[in-house]
Amino acid sequence: MKIVVSIFLILASFAVFAQEQISMNGIDWELNGKVISEKYKGEDCIKTDEGVAIAQDISFKNGIIEFDMCIQPGRGFAGVRFHGDGMGNTEEFYIRKHQSGNPDAMQYTPVYNGNAGWQLYYGDGYGAAKQHVFDEWFSVKLVISGNRGEVYISDMEKPVLVIHELKMGERDGKIAFYGPARFANIKVTPMVSPELKGEFMEIGEAGDEVIKSYRVSEAFDAELLSKENLLPANFTKQLQFKKWDTEADGLLNISKTAALGEKRNAVILTINIESETDLVKMMNFGFSDVAKIFVNGKAVWLGNDVYRSRDYRFLGTIGYFDSVYLDLQNGKNEIVVMVAESFGGWGFKARFENMNGIKILN
């Protein structure tokens, strides 16, 4: 089992060397990578082919981000990052040019430690269908208020995407644009509490059958456990662990806990279960991208959901799509899950069919 680490994430960190400084739309811009300023179809603009334009001296928390955008046909991702900390953590909205008209034509996702989480966050509140316009200028507006947001495209009265929960919450940070696209007429209006027009859903807490915290190890090379049928003696004792709570729905975004890197593409999660008797208990779970499960030291399950690993449209998105029957002993049991990542979201979530006869000790 070979895990390939993608370095798509360099741009997400904003931590690249400055190519040029320009002033446009009353904002000073730092241009990184293959980015130029030009005039296109009557508009002074920034063209971000393979780079990022960072708005300098602007710290944005709540308010409105407005701009005109022009994209060309072909595969590509183009949009805006906001609330960036310059260390690879940011909120992100982008258009998938090649998915025009499809449910994933656009995407909101948080980015932690340079790893965007689109495989973890999809559907209502994260993506929406939209027929894209090519080689023409169109208007985009983001309204950010607290931990919620809206996106408007062309129609400035009705949001095309409602973001029920910004995963990083209310925070200040940098704004940046990236392509391949052109951006013009950029306007940033800070506001304390801008009006939101969409219909928002309250984020509810998961039930008791959902695991809500894990002990998470430091990152290591997945190859160390890829071929093991038994968990090597003292393997976990060589690693440092920290307890991490999940999001409200039970998702653990592992990128919060560790930065993905060469030979640092896997972590171990531990789940401690106390069972009243010897019994077999079903656990439903979801993962991205590779998971291997050990019960009391014995490997019982291995799965690979890497992007396009099954067919060309397989996205590797996460959900309670898999199940494993855990052979539990009377007393305490340790479930060890290795989760390895390639790109697009490093995550895990799990729940039991019921809590009869067991107790989660995490």
**Residues forming beta bridges with residue 107, ordered by sequence position:** 94, 127
pLDDT tens profile 211-260 = 999 999 999 999 999 999 999 999 999 999 999 999 999 999 999 999 99
Does the pLDDT of residue 326 top 60, yes or no? yes
- Which segment of 10-19, 137-146, 229-238, 312-321 scores lowest on mean pLDDT? 10-19
CB 140 within 8 A of CB 151: yes
pLDDT tens profile 7-23 = 344 344 444 444 577 77
CA dist 298 and 302 (Å) reads 12
Task: Report, as an integer, the average pLDDT of 114-126.
Answer: 96
Supply angle C-alpha 323, 325, 331, rounded to 5: 130
pLDDT at 19: 58
Confidence of residue 4 (pLDDT cuts 50, 70, 90): very low
CA dist 88 and 147 (Å) reads 19
Before 278, cis peptide (omega within 30)?
A: no
* Joined tokens for residue 308: 């396009």
Does the pLDDT of residue 332 top 70, yes or no? yes
CA dist 63 and 60 (Å) reads 8
What is the reported pTM? Answer: 0.91
Give me the sign of the Cα torsion angle 319, 324, 325, 330. Answer: negative
Task: Report, as an integer, the average pLDDT of 53-62.
Answer: 94
CA dist 353 and 92 (Å) reads 35
* Joined tokens for residue 201: 């859903």
CA dist 214 and 270 (Å) reads 6
Does the pLDDT of residue 5 top 60, yes or no? no
The closest alpha carbon to 81, from 145, 177, 172, 146, belongs to 177
CA dist 296 and 271 (Å) reads 11
Count of CB atoms situated within 10 Å of the CB of 160: 17
In what helix (H) or strand (E) does residue 308 lie, and over which residues does it extend? none
